[in-house]
């Protein structure tokens, strides 16, 4: 009796172990099909669902630079979420985030810029949740800290729009973390990107201290700070930059009574694209950041766009560097860098059959 009992017990335990193994394999396979594992793809793998004009925070908008007549302004972003296929429009979970900030000298531009709309879809089709943001511009007269006696570089007038713009960019990062579950994001895997002024803002976000562009104004001075998820971190895991300046890193230091450098071993890795004949933001700015990164040992990958001036969005697709037509070459170049620093597996997969070679326009 006891021998048979032990034999049956061993068979039961063996069956249980086999069941656990099978369930584990099935769970891995399901995660692969769903896209919930930390994997992104070199080519188009997912369909995309878009949600437009989501409020991510508020900022003060003033009638002029005296900042005496101000009111709250909604800050908006668009979300591009990957879904398994065109018939299963259920967004994925645990995806890396890719936050985008348009250029325009912090005085113009919009998230609807065709290049950024195209790049957001390109990244989402490969497994990222893309967030394409608007932010306060020069004409919104957002408040900035008062000048202090020790400053070598003042916030205004040349950089009076830099403070609210970078403040809003960091607020968007905190929003994505606060709403990670809603948008299916892994809050430990956040990359940011921008062009020109947007890149300058996002490079600053990847380098400056947590409290920079956040605590210089009090809640009494700017009540909209309460909408910006102040308890979340604005740290990012890497930056994809297009022809950025280092000016807003410098501004943070020169506004600091202790004049502390913002460059350290904890800065976000940067991949920078910059034209070598750019006269708007000369490539010397990229070389300056590169020198600091070389000193701290943080990964900084500079791609010199030979013969290109500012806003070279056509690089690799056209003989004319400057164009408003979307070209994916720089995304293709940046993807391995982003995957590496977000600790993602980068796979090659067959493109989904969407009925034709054209990208699906219904779900994008």
pLDDT per residue over 29-77, tens digit each? 444 444 456 899 999 999 999 999 999 999 999 999 899 999 999 999 9
Backbone angles phi, psi at 234, to 5 degrees: -105, 15
What pLDDT tens digit does each residue of the chain (364 aa) get?
545 545 555 665 655 555 544 444 344 444 444 445 689 999 999 999 999 999 999 999 999 989 999 999 999 999 999 998 766 667 889 999 999 999 999 999 999 999 999 999 999 999 999 999 999 999 999 999 877 655 555 555 556 899 999 999 999 999 999 999 999 999 999 999 999 999 999 999 999 999 999 999 999 999 999 999 999 999 999 999 999 999 999 999 988 889 999 999 999 999 999 999 999 999 999 999 999 999 999 999 999 999 999 999 999 998 889 888 899 999 999 999 999 999 999 998 754 444 333 343 333 3
Give me the pLDDT at residue 85, please: 73
Give me the pLDDT at residue 262, please: 98
Give me the pLDDT at residue 4, please: 52
Give me the pLDDT at residue 149, please: 58
């Amino acid at each position: 009796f006891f021998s048979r009992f032990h034999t049956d017990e061993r068979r039961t335990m063996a069956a249980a172990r086999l069941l656990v193994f099978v369930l584990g394999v099935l769970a891995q396979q399901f995660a692969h099909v769903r896209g919930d594992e930390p994997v992104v793809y070199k080519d188009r793998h997912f369909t995309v669902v878009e949600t437009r004009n989501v409020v991510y925070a508020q900022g003060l908008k003033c009638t002029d630079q005296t900042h005496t007549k101000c009111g709250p302004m909604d800050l908006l972003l668009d979300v591009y979420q990957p879904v398994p296929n065109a018939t299963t429009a259920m967004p994925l979970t645990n995806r890396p985030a890719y936050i985008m900030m348009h250029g325009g000298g912090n005085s113009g531009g919009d998230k609807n810029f065709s290049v950024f709309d195209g790049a957001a879809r390109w990244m989402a089709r490969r497994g990222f949740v893309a967030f394409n943001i608007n932010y306060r511009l020069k004409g919104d007269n957002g408040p900035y800290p008062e000048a202090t006696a020790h400053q070598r570089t003042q916030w205004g007038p040349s950089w009076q729009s830099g403070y609210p713009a970078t403040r809003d960019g960091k607020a968007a990062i905190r929003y994505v973390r606060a709403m990670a579950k809603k948008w299916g994001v892994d809050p430990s895997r956040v990359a940011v990107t921008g062009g020109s002024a947007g890149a300058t803002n996002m490079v600053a976000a990847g380098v400056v201290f947590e409290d920079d562009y956040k605590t210089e104004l009090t809640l009494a001075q700017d009540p909209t700070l309460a909408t910006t998820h102040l308890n979340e971190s604005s740290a990012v895991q890497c930056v994809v930059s297009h022809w950025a300046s280092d000016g807003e890193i410098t501004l943070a230091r020169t506004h600091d009574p202790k004049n502390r450098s913002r460059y350290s071993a904890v800065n976000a890795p940067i991949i920078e694209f910059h034209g070598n004949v750019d006269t708007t933001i000369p490539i010397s700015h990229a070389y300056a950041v590169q020198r600091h990164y070389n000193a701290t040992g943080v990964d900084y990958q500079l791609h010199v766009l030979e013969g290109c001036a500012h806003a070279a969005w056509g690089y690799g697709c056209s003989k004319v560097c400057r164009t408003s037509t979307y070209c994916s070459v720089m995304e293709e170049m940046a993807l391995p860098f982003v995957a590496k620093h977000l600790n993602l597996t980068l796979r090659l997969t067959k493109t989904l059959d969407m009925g034709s070679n054209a990208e699906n326009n219904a779900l994008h």
